[in-house]
């Protein structure tokens, strides 16, 4: 089992553990664009892509290949597949689409892989992206996988299994007046960042909603 498949299976397992419905999300063919030149055969990269609905969340998991030479081609192919998927799901679900890209074993310890992972995650074109870089030693794989899951929205529902009802979490979120106060302050700031008085903004946020 490769790392991409391992992560995909773990997502399904955890979703079912908290009674989320898991159902297939068929991947539609990527339309051919006349503006995009075909990739030469010697530069082609086989991209392994899996998809599912976990609850209401559409999730695509794709491998980035084994070498840095083809990582951008793999990234581009997965992103185009995500774009097609977003047009095929309900509009409210499309906003929650997450593309998870997986590097090869040992990429966690490689500085170049870490750099490209940060670049991918900063790119918000089409949908949110996350990158898992597995460690070199297989014995550390499960711990690394769990650490990665904590970075995703998938970690939040797991609190239900620890005895915290989802209704309690929702109530807590609704009544968090401090956050509401921050939102009001931030919304009132000038659109142009150059016009923002950051010193004054920090003071306002600190004193927001204090009795």
Does residue 4 or residue 31 have the better pLDDT? 4
What SS3 class is residue 129? Answer: strand
For the entire predicted model, the pTM comes to 0.68
Nearest C-alpha neighbor of 129 from the set 116, 146, 140, 112 = 116
Render pLDDT for 76-118 as a digit per residue (tens, 0 to 9): 889 988 888 888 776 666 778 899 999 999 999 999 999 999 9
Q: Where are the domains of the chain?
A: 3-160, 176-207
Does residue 59 or residue 144 have the better pLDDT? 59
Give the C-alpha distances (Å, rounded to integers) separating 124 from 58, 121, 160, 174, 178: 16, 7, 29, 27, 28
Average pLDDT over residues 164-178: 44
What SS3 class is residue 141? Answer: helix
Q: How many angstroms from the chain centroid is the CA of residue 194? A: 30
Give the C-alpha separation, 161 to 154, whole Å.
13
Q: 12-21, 52-61, 155-164, 200-209: which has the minimum mean pLDDT?
A: 155-164
Q: 3-7, 98-102, 126-130, 157-161: which has the minimum mean pLDDT?
A: 157-161
Residue 163 confidence (pLDDT): 43
């Amino acid at each position: 089992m490769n790392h991409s498949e391992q992560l995909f299976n773990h997502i399904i397992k955890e979703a079912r553990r908290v009674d989320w419905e898991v159902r297939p999300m068929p991947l539609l063919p990527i339309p051919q664009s006349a503006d995009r030149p075909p990739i030469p055969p010697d530069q082609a990269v086989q991209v392994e892509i899996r998809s599912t609905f976990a609850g209401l969340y559409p999730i695509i998991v794709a491998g980035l290949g084994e070498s840095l030479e083809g990582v951008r081609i793999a990234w581009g192919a997965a992103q185009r597949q995500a774009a097609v998927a977003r047009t095929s799901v309900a509009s409210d679900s499309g906003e929650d689409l997450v593309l998870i890209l997986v590097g090869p074993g040992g990429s966690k310890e490689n500085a170049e892989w870490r750099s490209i992972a940060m670049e991918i995650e900063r790119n918000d074109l089409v949908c949110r992206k996350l990158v898992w870089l597995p460690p070199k030693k297989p014995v550390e794989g499960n711990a690394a996988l769990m650490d990665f899951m904590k970075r995703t929205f998938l970690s939040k529902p797991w609190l239900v299994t620890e005895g915290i009802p989802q209704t309690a979490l929702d109530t807590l979120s609704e009544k968090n007046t401090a956050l509401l106060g921050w939102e009001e302050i931030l919304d009132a700031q000038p659109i142009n960042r150059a016009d923002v008085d950051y010193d004054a903004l920090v003071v306002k946020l600190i004193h927001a909603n204090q009795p």
